[in-house]
Amino acid sequence: MGKILVVGVGPGSGEYLTPAAREAVARAQVLVGGRSALDLFPGDRPSKVIGKDLEEVLEFIRLHRDTDIAVLTSGDPGFYSILALLTQHFPSEEMEVVPGISSLQLCFARMKEPWHDCRVVSLHGRGIDGLPEELGRAKKLAILTDPKNPPEAVARLLLQRGIKGKRAFVCDSLATPQERVVAGDLESIARERFTGYCVMVIKDG
């Protein structure tokens, strides 16, 4: 039986792939991951794109348990990734986890600020209205957004809730040629348009 190598491939650019991640993927005969993650490793190895049907992905992994499989996760496997699902279906001794650089780390690097005192929320696949009321009052809050819950919608929601005096930073399309970092108050962020795949940091002004 092979290993399930859960590999963090960073925020999406080859320059942020760690040597350990490259080495782990090189060991694998089969790849599983999102389309952009798989594109980092072109070749003719059998592969499976992670889509909405996660049971289909799990079945693909089961069918290839006789060999080493690299399951590629964007960012770091321990941070809102498929690792949580895999640990429910496969014994830990069958897995090896290779950490990666998360979009959150890269965002704060762009801001040139520490993030040990930050609260973190992901809106991926979740409704924006479910954002807890008290989070808007946190001293430093990082939100992972998606196209259905973009930063401008988050800013509008916080303004509707009466949150004032906050400053926001939005890191959009990190580690891609389209990357941009926009800073401003919530009012100005609410008027912007973003791709949706962003890290939004909200902090006291």
Task: Give the model confidence (pLDDT) of 49-95 as tens digits.
Answer: 998 899 999 999 999 999 999 999 999 999 989 999 999 999 999 99
* b (16+ CB within 10 A) / e for 20-39: ebeebbeebebbbbbeebbe
pLDDT beyond 90 at 124:
no
Take residue 155 and report the two structure tokens written for it.
């800013």
Q: Which is higher by pLDDT, 141 or 131?
A: 141
Query: For 10, which DSSP code?
Result: B
* Residue the block writes with tokens 């991951």: 33
pLDDT beyond 90 at 132:
no
pLDDT beyond 80 at 136:
no
* Burial classification of residue 104, based on how many CB atoms lie within 10 Å of its CB (0-12 exposed, 13-18 middle, 19 or more buried): buried
CB-based contact 25:98 (threshold 8 Å): no
Average pLDDT over all residues of the chain: 94
Cα gap 117→175, rounded to integer Å: 24
Q: What percent of the chain has pLDDT over 70?
A: 100
Q: Average of pLDDT values for 113-137?
A: 85
Query: For 146, which DSSP code?
Result: B
Cα gap 93→25, rounded to integer Å: 18
| DSSP state letters, 64-82 | TTTS-EEEEESB-TTSSST
Task: Give the model confidence (pLDDT) of 8-57 as tens digits.
Answer: 999 989 999 999 999 999 999 999 999 999 999 999 999 999 988 999 99
pLDDT of residue 12: 87
Cα gap 8→71, rounded to integer Å: 9
Q: Which is higher by pLDDT, 129 or 191?
A: 191
The set of residues, in sequence order, having a beta carbon less than 8 Å from that of 68 and lying 6+ positions away, is: 2, 3, 5, 27, 28, 29, 30
Q: How many CB atoms lie within 10 A of CB 93?
A: 7
pLDDT beyond 90 at 106:
yes
Sheet with 119-122, strands from edge to edge, namely: 119-122, 140-144, 198-204, 166-172, 180-185
Task: Give the model confidence (pLDDT) of 145-154 as tens digits.
Answer: 999 999 999 9
